[in-house]
Amino acid sequence: MSADWADTVLWWHVYPLGFTGAPIRPEGPVEGPVPRLDRLHAWLDHVVELGLNGLALGPVFAAQTHGYDTVDHFRVDPRLGTEDDLRRLIDACSARGIRVCLDGVFNHVGRGHPAFAAVEADGPAAPTAGLFRFDRDGWRPGEPVRADVFEGHDQLVALDHSSPEVAELVVAVLRHWLDRGADGWRLDAAYAVPPEFWARVLPEVRRTHPHAWFTGEVIHGDAARFVRASTVDSLTQYELWQALWHGIADRNFFELTHALERHNGLLATFLPSTFVGNHDVTRIASAVGPELVPHALAVLFTVAGVPSVYAGDEYGWTGVKEQRLGGDDAVRPEFPPRPPDASELDATARGTLDAHRALIALCRRHPWLTRAHTDVVHLANEQVVLRSGTAGAAVVVALNLSAEAVELPAADATTAECGTGRLAGDRVQLPARGWAVLSA
C-alpha cells in the first residue's frame, strides 16, 4: 500500500448533493454557485467525536443530476459551491486531522459533457473524438452518435480506456485535486474499466503524489487479481457486506463465515474497504432491523480492512433503495444543519450511536485489527463466535440473533470490552439478541 496512513483511517462517508439538500434532478438551468458544501463544517466535530478521522465525499464535480454524470472534472458542481468552498472544507478537515477522499467517475461522463457535445456535432473530426468509443463509420452529420454507454444508461457515455487522451485526462484530474489537498480517491465503477488502464494511470500519479490512496468500486470477481493487475490500494468489499447483512437478516451466520474465510484470503494482497452501508444500498437499520445494527458493527470494526460509516447510520437512520427513478433518494437524504444533541434522540438512536462510539474506540485501541485474521470459534444459524487476532493479541466477537439467552465459548477472552454480554469463566453469557466484544 502506497499510503501508510490508510492503516489507521476510519471514514465517514457522505453523499454531498443529498446531504446539503441540493436539487438532484434540476428541471431547468442550475443557478449558482450556491455554497452548500459549507453545511458540512458543522458536522466535522461530530466526525472527530465519533472517533473517525476520514471524510469520504461522494461526487462534488459539475454534473447533470446525481453527480455520477460528470460534465467537468475540474469544476466543483455549482449546486455545491466553488473550488474555494471545497478547499475551505478540505482545510477545515486537515485542521482536525481528518483525511479527505474524493469520488472520481472515470469510466463514463454525462451525455452533456462538452467533449461529447463536440463529438455529436463533428463526429470523428471532433478534437475530443479520441475520448470515446463510438461508431465512426456509421456516423453522418446531423445524426445521433451511436456511442458505448455504461450498463445501458443512455445518459452515461463510456470513455475509451485504450486511448492515451483518456489516460492523460484522468492523470490530470487526479493530480489537480490532490494538489489542492485531497488525500485519496474512490474510483467509481472501477470494475468496468480494464485494470491495465489503472496500471498505466496510478503509478504516474504516485510519481508526484506517493502518499495518495486509491480504492476502487468493484462489486464482484477476483478481487486480489484485480488489485495486482490494476495497482489500486483497495477495493470495496461487497461480498462481506452482502454476507453480513443477509446473514443477520436471514438468521444464517453460515453465509457470513464463508465470506470471512474468503476475506482472510485477500489480506496477503490488499486491505479491503469494508462497510455496512453506503450511498448505493439499503441502510443497515432497514436491512437488519435497528436492534441488530450493533451485531453488524461488531463485525465491521473487528475484521481486517479500511472501514467506513455511512453518514446517518450512526443514528440508525432508515432508508430502502428501490430500482426506479429516484430510488436512491431515501438513502441519500438531506441532513439537518447540525448534529442532534443526545436529548433529541430516542432510545434506539442513542443506543446505535453509543454502539458506534464504543466499537470505533475499540478499533482505535487495537490498531492491529486492521490486518488481523479472523477465525470462527463457534457457529450456528443464530449464534457465532469470531476471534480476530495476531500472534500477540486478539478480540472475540460473540453474537446472538435468537429470542433466547445463550452461553457461548469465550475463546480465552479475559475482559469484556463492549456490548450486552457478560463473561462467566470460559463462557460468555448473551441475552436475547445480545452481542459482546471481548479481549484476550
- How does pLDDT run along the chain (440 residues), one tens digit per residue? 468 899 999 999 999 999 999 999 988 777 789 999 999 999 999 999 999 999 999 999 999 999 999 999 999 999 999 999 999 999 999 999 999 999 999 999 999 999 999 999 999 999 999 999 999 998 898 888 999 999 999 999 999 999 999 999 999 999 999 999 999 999 999 999 999 999 999 999 999 999 999 999 999 999 999 999 999 999 999 999 999 999 999 999 999 999 999 999 999 999 999 999 999 999 999 999 999 999 999 999 999 999 999 999 999 999 999 999 899 999 999 999 999 998 999 999 999 999 999 999 999 999 999 999 999 999 999 999 999 998 889 999 999 999 999 999 999 999 999 999 999 999 999 999 999 999 99
Torsion of CA 102, 108, 112, 116, to 10 degrees: 130
**Strand order across the 108-110 sheet:** 108-110, 153-158, 149-150
| CB count in 10 Å sphere of residue 143 | 10
Q: Where are the domains of the chain?
A: 4-371, 375-439
Choose which CATH entry (1.10.150.390, 3.40.50.300, 3.20.20.80, 2.120.10.30) describes domain 4-371: 3.20.20.80
The span from the CA of 374 to the CA of 21, in Å, is: 40
In the CATH hierarchy, which fold is given to the domain comprising 375-439? Immunoglobulin-like (2.60.40)
Model pTM score: 0.97
In sequence order, the 6+-apart residues with CB closer than 8 A to the CB of 126 are 118, 119
The span from the CA of 110 to the CA of 155, in Å, is: 6
The span from the CA of 402 to the CA of 421, in Å, is: 14
**CA-based nearest residue to 161, from 153, 177, 150, 152:** 150
CB 390 within 8 A of CB 368: yes
